[in-house]
Structure formats: structure tokens, C-alpha cells
Amino acid sequence: MDYLKGLNDRQKEAVLHGEGPLLILAGAGSGKTRVLTHRIAYLIEENRIFPGNILAITFTNKAANEMKERIADLLDGNIDDIWMGTFHSICVRILRRDIDKIGFQRSFSIYDRDDQITLMKECIKELNLSKDMYKERSVLATISTLKDSMTPPDTYINENYSDFYSKNVGELYALYEKKLKQNNALDFDDLIIKTVELFKANPTILEYYQKKFKYIFVDEYQDTNKIQYQFIRLLSGQNKNICVVGDPDQSIYGWRGADITNIIDFEKDFENATTIRLEQNYRSTQNILNVANYVIKNNYDRIDKKLWTDNNEGSQVVVENSLDSDEEARFVANKIEEHMKEGYNPSDFAILYRTNAQSRSFEEAFMRRNIPYKLVGGLRFYDRKEIKDIIAYLKLIQNPVDDISLKRIINVPRRGIGNATMEKVEGYASEIGESIYNVLLDVEQIPGLSTRAKNSLKTFIDMINKFMAMREVMGIQEFIEEVVYGVGYIKELEDEGSIESQTRLDNIKEFISVAIDFQVANPEGTLEDFLANISLLSDVDKTEDIDNSVTLLTVHSAKGLEFPIVFMVGMEEGLFPISRALESESELEEERRLCYVAITRAEKLLYISFAKIRTIYGKTNYTLPSRFIDEMPKNLIDMGKQRGGSPYQISGNTRAQSSREQLIRVQDFSKKPSTSRAKTSIDNTKVKEGTKVKHKKWGIGTIVQLKDRGDDKEIVIAFDKAGLKRLLLSIAPIEIVKGE
């Protein structure tokens, strides 16, 4: 078989490479899997290398299986002797044979996340630490980071001896490791760590595997962390036939330990290394690639390469601005419907966003239009547990005899009301034929309850009754904020401090955005109206053909995928790039790589959108277009509605814009709201630049700018503590400081 057939010159060079270290810099869509599989097949068939002398490491089982299938097709035979799999699966095979050399039994257990949490609970209890302060998931996340950086418990404890919390985390780390050993168990981090430990402690075992694996392949090398790098260095120490494939421009997992310097420094780390650049792209049009090239060249920490293609030049990348997220979602839905009339299928479209919470406005728009869609890496917004919990609270407040909603949330967040207590309450309610809420109004009459249980139930019912009263005097948005914060859900998630809890926290805050949008569209709407609207959205028939659906996913989840038409949405400063990256050059470069990954997912058409006003996580702000849009050459992009104009010009319905902006300018939805609303009675004839004013929330400030806005005035106030704020004078809750 001709293993070079159909390959370009650079791909052939990689397949035919002889001995020694090889770095294949494989740009997006450049056919790296084809090169890897053809090189392995070539070594086996043409160079007569025994399959058992080849080790191929991938990051997912899916990638490993795909490579196996392709190689089997090429060789038309049995390739079971090749060691091919993920880092973890390869290390398990090694440890099952020799882990007894470092004090574990070969029958060791592998603990998943639930097992780890159970074990950490034991550790927290044994050290008599507060379970409210030391959350299992948060502590385990810290331990995982420490393990990846090869920091042992004693070192961490000594480095943080004067920090009470961190020192105790170190003690939990030490006890956790001790208990793992007692249970003859490893967690996932240990699988690689213990393999490296085995190699270092037993040179003869290391030498065995060095001789066995004459050729080593590592896919997605830019995503390796420190311990994975050590594992690879040790195994390749004798034959030096290490072939790594990757792209530093697609290194987007620094937040979970990936070290981009592993690929950047490959030529330094492996003497006499050869580097081959795969720059021909088989996926996208040249215009899309040009935009990607211009954006990524702004990164300093990279190895230079430039993608090109034999595909046609293609259409310009369209950059579209909108007033807000709802208008952005309508734009995307409209474009999808237009292209479907041209013959595209729903599965040809992908919506890429920076955070999962952004999916909500697109889900709602697609449900209203009956556009089938699927979410990658997450539940539909209204199917998420935390959203169902908050909706259950609202349903109970609206309809207190809703036993289903009450039972769902009576102990969410945890308030000491267990199953045994609820069985007694339900039994009594059933016996006298009343709802659970009604019997809880006179909790003393319920037999068999402890004093502690009665107190917990009283606290709960008092809280619900308070919310029922507040509902009558508050707008929807303000009321829902009171509920979300008042039930303690947000505090519990903030205290937990894990990645999972932060995602759930973002989703709950995004639910506040739903309330804001509803209030804008329905100023007189009631809680009953709001819940009816939610029910219509969340109960839409979900039996559509999931395989022929628009795909909604984060950019991180999109890596390795491709779609004919891609929408990159929410391209705004503080969202993409994410706000936490703006103060760190290395994190900003990772955000730019993430943008590069997003751009290069598109095959034929790419749309980029941003909004002037963004309501997300319950906070509404004016936004600026992402700096990454500025890095795109203007001759390669079509500015959508404002063709030939500035990306900062906003079009849209003036009346809707005015209503929306008035609401936004006077409210900050990022914090727990006040239960009262201030109204201005200021005489606008007395207002001028330099006037000192007082705001009930932001304190004393000075008016630094006035602008006419139709019959109103827009004022910019420099507050002593809150900084610059922009308000409409007619509804600004301010008063002139006496003496002015």
C-alpha cells in the first residue's frame, strides 16, 4: 500500500521522518490525525517495527479509538499489540503490573469524584474542621492542582504555616493521601504520579519500558501538564524517538494545568529535534484563515506559522452588533432560517460562546422559532438543577399548596430538614387532608418532631411567608433577586468555592437576567405571568431529531470540531476576553488562542456578534466590542448592519432602546437589591457640571458631564467611592447636596 498517497509535501516529510525527536506543528484543520496514523502504519509495514514497540498517547478514549480504527484500515490486520490510549489508561496498565514495588497492592481501586468526596468528608470530620468552611469539592480541587504541580503535602503545609485556612487544607491533603494508601486506592491524578514515582524508584522497570517503546507518539502535546511531561521524558530517555503533535496556538487549557512551555520548548528539551509545520488547512476558506492568522499573531508566546488553503477565498467574516442579547439571539435565529432556505441543515450550524450561561437567550429564541438545537457539555438552561430549584421556590410562593415544589426545596440549600422529618410531616398532612404548607403553619401540632426539627421548619415557613408579602409590593426583577439571595442558595455556592459551584452560581445569576428581560417586556407583569412564560419555554416538546440540530457549545467544548457555518457570539470586552484575563498577559494570550480556535471551527461562513448592552449573571452593563475584533483587518470583515461604519455604532428600535437603557442606567443588578426604590425630584435647571449630588447607594459625587437626550438629560457622575456612573436625569435617584 502507498502510505504517502494523497499527502501534501509536509505531511509526507513527517511520515518519512527517520530517527530522533520530531515536533509536528499541526495547524487547525491540517490533517494531523491522518499524518499520525500514516506514520505509525508506515513504521509497522515498511520499517518492520513490531506493533508492541509503539506507544501512542491521546487525551480522550474517542481519539484513541479513532486512531486504532484508521491504522487497522491502513494495515488491514490486527494491531492489538500497539499500546494506544489516554495517559491514564496507559499508566493503569503499567501500575497493575508493578505498583507493588512502591507499596500498593496490584488490586488497587481507582476512586472517582464521588469516592473522593466521601473520603474527604471523613478527613474533614476526623480533623474536626468546619464543613461549612472546608467544602469537599473546593479542597479536592486544590489538592488536584498541587498534585499536578508535584507539590507534596508537607511542602504545602510549610509554605502556608502562618495561613490558618491553607495550613488546614494541607493537613487535609496529608490525611487524604494517608487514607488513600490505607484503602489501597488511587485517584485519577495518582495514576500518572504513581507511575512516575515507580519509574524513579525502580530504574530497571523504567529501562524495561524504555526498551519496549522504541517509538512514542503524543497527540495534543500543547495540552500536557508537568507530570505528563515528566512521564514522557522518562519513557523517551533511551531511544529518543519521540514524536509529538500539537499546536501552541490551540493551547486553551491553562486553567486546568496545561503548560504551553512543553511544546514551545520542545526543541530545547529534546536535542537535535526536527520541527515540521503543517500549515495547509483543508477545512476553511482563505478569508476565515486570514482573520485567524491576523488575530493570533498578536500573541508573543508562540511558534510562528501561517495557515493557508487551496479552498476558495470565500465570503467576508460578518461582524454584527446588536442592542442586547435578545436582539443578538434574533439575529442568529434569522440567519439560520435564511440559510436553511438555501439548503443548509440545522446540524450545519454552531453557536460558540465563552460561558455556558450565554446559551439561555439562544435557547429561548430557538424554542420560539421551533429551530431544533442541542447543548454540548451541559443541560438545557431550564433543565439545570439550580434553575429548577429557584423556579420551585417561586411556584411555592405563588401557590403554597404545591406540595411537589415544597418538597423539592424545603432542604435546598441544606437547613437541617431531613427525610425522616418530612416523612412525619407528610404523614400528618395526609392524615388530616391538608397541604404540607398548611400543616407547617402550625408545626407544633405535628406529632413526633424534635424541637430542632420544629425550629428549622418554622424558620423555613417564616421565610416563605415573608416572600409572599414582598411579592405584592415589588417588581418581578427586584422580587426574584430577593428570593435568590434570601433563600441562601447563592451563599452556599459561594462558600463551596468549586468550579462546579461557580458554574451553578453563574446559572442562578443568569436566571436574574431572565427576570430583567421579562420586566422590560412586561412592565405590569405578575409573578404568575412570569411563571407561565417560563413554563411555556421549559416545557417545549423535546423529541426533535437531536442529530439534525443546531449545536450550542462553549469554545472550549468546540475544540476538534468543525461546522459549515459558525456564530461566535458575545464578543465583548469582559466576556471574550473574559474579565479575569484582562490583568494577566499570559491569560489574555490564552483567551486569544481560544478566539483563534473558535474562528478556525468555521468551514464556509463565520458570523461574529456583540451587543451594546449585555445582561448576564443578573448584571446589566454597557459593553465595548472585544479587542479581538479590532485585531481583524477591516478589508476581511463585513460590519453587518453598519457596513462601512464603525463597529461601535448601534442600530435598533429607538423606542425599545430608550426603554431598555433607562432601566439599565439606574440599576446595578450585580448585588443584593435594596427593598425600596428611590425617585428623583431634582430640578434640572439647577443641575450643571460641577454640581455635587448624593445617591442613596453610591454616596456623594460630582456631575462631570451633561448631554441632551431628547426631552431628557444624560448625566455622568464621578462618585467618590463608586467611580463613574451614567444616568438619565429624569429617573436618577439623586439629590443636590445642600450648599450647591
> What is the SS3 assignment for 243?
strand
Judging by beta carbons within 10 Å of its beta carbon (0-12, 13-18, 19+), is residue 177 exposed, middle or buried? middle
- Among candidate residues 187, 189, 190, 219, the one labeled active-site is 219
Q: Which residues pair with 320 in a beta bridge?
A: 609
Report how far apart, in Å, the C-alpha atoms of 635 and of each of 128, 296, 624, 631 are.
Answer: 65, 17, 21, 12
CB 730 within 8 A of CB 712: yes
Catalytic residue flag (residue 219): yes
Q: Residue 405 is placed in which grid cell?
A: 415544589
Calpha distance 387→531 (Å, rounded): 12
Q: Which of 348, 327, 324, 328 is nearest to 336 (CA)?
A: 348
Q: Residue 131 is placed in which grid cell?
A: 464543613
Judging by beta carbons within 10 Å of its beta carbon (0-12, 13-18, 19+), is residue 279 exposed, middle or buried? middle
- Among candidate residues 601, 604, 627, 725, the one labeled active-site is 601
DSSP string for 104-161: --TT-EEE-HHHHHHHHHHHHHHTT--TTTS-HHHHHHHHHHHHHTT--HHHHHHHTT
Q: Residue 271 is placed in which grid cell?
A: 536535542
Catalytic residue flag (residue 228): no
CB 209 within 8 A of CB 188: no
Q: Residue 340 is placed in which grid cell?
A: 436553511
**26 φ/ψ sector (left φ>0, alpha ψ -120 to 50, else beta):** beta
Task: Indicate the angle between helix axes 325-341 and 359-369, nearest 10 degrees.
Answer: 50
CB 708 within 8 A of CB 730: no
Calpha distance 176→464 (Å, rounded): 40
Calpha distance 326→361 (Å, rounded): 6
Catalytic residue flag (residue 125): no
CB 11 within 8 A of CB 31: yes
What does residue 564 show for φ and ψ, rounded to 5 degrees? -55, -40
Q: Which residues pair with 242 in a beta bridge?
A: 216
- Among candidate residues 220, 320, 589, 590, the one labeled active-site is 220
Catalytic residue flag (residue 32): yes
- Among candidate residues 10, 11, 32, 593, the one labeled active-site is 32
CB 193 within 8 A of CB 147: yes
Amino acid at 92: V
- Among candidate residues 33, 316, 642, 667, the one labeled active-site is 33
CB 242 within 8 A of CB 236: yes
CB 355 within 8 A of CB 506: yes
Q: In what order do the strands lie in the sheet with 699-709?
A: 723-728, 712-719, 699-709, 692-695, 734-736
- Among candidate residues 210, 224, 250, 285, the one labeled active-site is 250
Catalytic residue set: 32-33, 219-220, 250, 601
